Amino acid sequence: MAVTAKAGSEKSEWKKRYEPNDTGLRFQDLKYTGNFTDLEPVPDGILGDRMMKARMRSKVIEKVTKQDVLKGEFTVDELNDLNDYLAWNIWDVLVMRATEGVSGMIPRQEYEMLSFMQEFYRYPEFMRRITDEVGAQGVMDIGASARREIGTKVNCVHDWCLGAVAFAMGRCGLLALEVIKPDDYVEESNTILKFMQRVLWGKRQDGWILNSQDRYRCTIHEKDFLESLVTHCENFEPGSEKHDKFVAFNAAAELLAFFDHYDCRLGLGDTGPYQMPDGRILIVRDLFVNEDIYHWSDVCEGLPHCFTMLVLVDPELMGLKEIRVNDISTSFTIPKNYIEAITGGAVLVREQHDTPMGEVYAVGINDIAKHLEKIQQATFNMYKKTAKMSRHELCLNGIYSYYIEMILPHMRKAGMYDYFNKEHDFWEIDQRVANYYYEINKRNFAQATVPLKVFSGAGYLPFSKKADLRQSKYFWS
């Protein structure tokens, strides 16, 4: 087939986004205020990142060194800067999805809020023990493992959730529910954010921790590793039979990956955009269609843990102006639809979460029909299974899909998942959170207060100047 992209084309509008003074395009008209009520509202994207960095009191949002990351804790100013930046970053990735948090079948708003709180209460204990076991360098090595793996959940969205969800949204939710105060849990907040920083820094190894800090790039794979993957790619014409098979498989696997993770994007993981020598761009997309740790995933029996799609897009064919791989592992473009500009790709299979990379294999695009049939049958069975569940059961499963899932890959890499099950009741729900189940629907807390506080940025209250870094959950006034 004819590959239309031109390597190094001077006309490529999208490449201007990586020029130092470029401020990017706006993907939405809304603006963010957060804790900066006396300053100009902040937009999304590259310009928003620049404005937020300029407002920081410390250097924690600038490029940091390995020595910085190995330090034992953050200062109060650094904690507040991370809190403010993450609050904007959460708004940036979630608000432009108008349907974020809404599901017609699963009570997402409720289970999200409860799992945020559960994580804030329980993750510090796990993170501290993992760090005790493997050391600070070992935590960074967990992040670095993603550089030479596909089909791994040590990825953008899981690593981001360690801090953005467990700390930022968890603490924000508890503040909004008025069950903690701004200066409570300083020590635990430090533990969560330091763990997140180490994992993310180890994965990127360029000084940044978030994709938004690097113009929405997540090009983490080592060059020789990526080159070995690309050898499996097949070229095809847009609209051809092979193109349509590839796109249909991607859509079906995405749907099941979402459903198996309770209607959330923890089942997906994009990295990229990688610039190919022929001028095209590559997105590496993991679709986790069978997480057998969940009891409801029995309908996925016979499917592998993960299909990895290598998606080659011709930027000239679609007139690409900007592409973002944001911090929740999702690719967005202007123009919005890049499907018709996909001109090549591959499908790779990782049978289990710990299958060695040398045993990952490719499936030819003309041979994916048998896998597609299994995916479609599993999706149908998942709908039937889900429809029979009570609201309480759906909510509990949703809590598991967030609380268990977001730290599961890091526990596995540390070799401590079984230990936390046996010794620390990993799957138990904190009694306080169990009680909140009956509170969050009162006075429209989940439906009205949560969006106003958590998604708008208004509820991420800073630690005060009097905050004590040693202040723990045992404090009360």
**pLDDT one-digit tens code per residue, 327-368:** 999 999 999 999 999 999 999 999 999 999 999 999 999 999
Residue length, the chain? 477
- Stated as kind and residue range, the H or E segment containing 269 is strand 268-275
pLDDT at 244: 97
Distance CA 161, CA 410 (A): 12
pLDDT tens column, 373-416: 999 999 999 999 999 999 999 999 999 999 999 999 999 999 99
Read off the pLDDT band of 5 (50, 70, 90): low
* Residue keyed to tokens 């890499």: 413
pLDDT in tens, 279-330: 999 999 999 999 999 999 999 999 999 999 999 999 999 999 999 999 999 9
Kindly tell me if the per-residue pLDDT of 137 is higher than 90: yes
Q: Please answer whether residues 118 and 403 qualify as being in contact, where contact means their C-beta atoms are separated by less than 8 angstroms.
A: yes
CA proximity to 457, closest of 193, 216, 169:
169
**Residue 34 predicted with pLDDT over 50:** yes
Model confidence band, residue 446 (pLDDT cutoffs 50, 70, 90)? confident
Distances (CA, A) of 313 to 59, 186, 331: 36, 45, 12
Q: For residue 8, is pLDDT > 90?
A: no
Dist CA 307 CA 311 (whole Å): 12
Cα separation, 419 vs 411, in Å, equals 9
Q: What is the C-alpha separation between 336 and 39, in angstroms, rounded? A: 31
Q: Among 72, 136, 355, 380, which residue's Cα sits nearest to residue 252?
A: 380
357 vs 149: CA distance, rounded Å: 7
Amino acid letter for position 477:
S
Beta strands in 316-365 (DSSP E): 322-325, 331-334, 342-350, 361-363
